[in-house]
Amino acid sequence: MSILLPDRPADGAPAPARRLPVPPRPHAGRAGVGLAVVVGLLVAAHVVAIRQTEVSITALIDGWSGITRFLGDAFPPDLTWDTVVRPGIEATITTFWIGLLGTTLSIPLTVVLTVLGARTTTPNAVVYQVARAVMSFLRAVPDIVFALIFVTAVGLGPFPGVLAILLHNAGVMGKLWSEAVEEMDQGPVTALRTTGAKRPQVLAHAVLPTVVPQLIGLLLYRLDVNVRSSLVLGLVGAGGIGFLINKSIKLFQFDEMLTYILIVLVLIVVVDQVSGAVRRRLAR
């Protein structure tokens, strides 16, 4: 491809056009090489991961008979009211309380971490980095590890599950909330600062009214996640329906296990639908 440019005339006559080459697009070759390198690294990483995790389709096919035997023992579910269904419903409600309390009781700590861990509300770099480090630590430690620690400290039951979810959720929700505060429209904040408002006044009258709907939506999302997590915590002795599921598996009572799973499924669907409806209402 070329561009036609007129030559400068010597005697006033029309200048003949001359062709100039169009320069190639810069870095086009480098972008292609970079993409090929990234794809190659991803493929190599997946090959190594498959080998290290011993992924085997053959093993899955060979184990299909065991899966069939397990499903045969689980169906039909045991629907005995006094010994299975009623205790399962009661334990499922306990599981919901664990998730609810772990979420709501983490709000004060989350608010502190959010204010200290957002650049728009914390000008001090040291305080900001310390708050982010605390949030990273609470997120890095799985809630099930916290549950094992608290089970050792305070004994078996739902209380260790509440404490475990409280700490882990404060780290996760603190990160989500602080990022929401950092990404908010800074217009109201700037307007208040120009009028001489102090930092607590800016937080109360500019930051919170702007981000509260988004924070509530994130809180409801975390409630949904924490209810599911409280099920897993029961497997390590933190109470709830997870404890009954673990017991039924150890006793090879798979029909009871299936009943408990179906009860949990109902709880998860209800919580998901309710929290989703509230989030959609807040988004309007």
Structure confidence at residue 102 (pLDDT): 92
* Any domain includes 174: yes
**Confidence (pLDDT) at 33:** 78
Per-residue pLDDT of the chain (284 residues; tens, 9 = 90+): 545 555 555 555 555 556 656 555 655 567 777 888 899 999 999 999 988 988 888 888 877 877 788 788 778 887 888 888 898 899 889 999 999 999 999 999 999 998 888 887 777 889 889 999 999 999 999 889 999 999 888 888 889 999 999 999 999 999 998 888 888 766 766 676 677 767 677 676 667 777 777 888 888 888 888 988 888 888 887 878 888 888 888 888 888 888 999 998 998 888 888 887 877 777 66
Q: How many other CB atoms are found less than 10 A from the CB of residue 52?
A: 8
Instruction: Tell me what pLDDT residue 166 has.
Output: 93
258 within domain boundaries: yes
The domain total for the chain is 1
Does residue 76 have a cis bond before it (omega within 30 degrees)?
yes
Distance CA 184, CA 207 (A): 8
- Output the pLDDT for position 163: 92
Domain span including residue 188? 80-283
Report the C-alpha gap between 223 and 102 in whole angstroms.
Answer: 9
* Residue of 246, 264, 238, 248 lying closest to 145 (CA atoms): 238
**Position 40 in a domain:** no
The whole-number pLDDT of residue 120 equals 78
Asked, for residue 23, whether it belongs to a domain, the answer is no
Q: Which residue has the tokens 């929700």?
A: 173
Q: Is residue 74 in some structural domain?
A: no
For residue 128, CA distances in Å to 34, 53, 107 come to 35, 38, 19
The CA distance from 266 to 246, in Å, is 19
CATH number at residue 185: 1.10.3720.10
Q: Is residue 59 part of a domain?
A: no
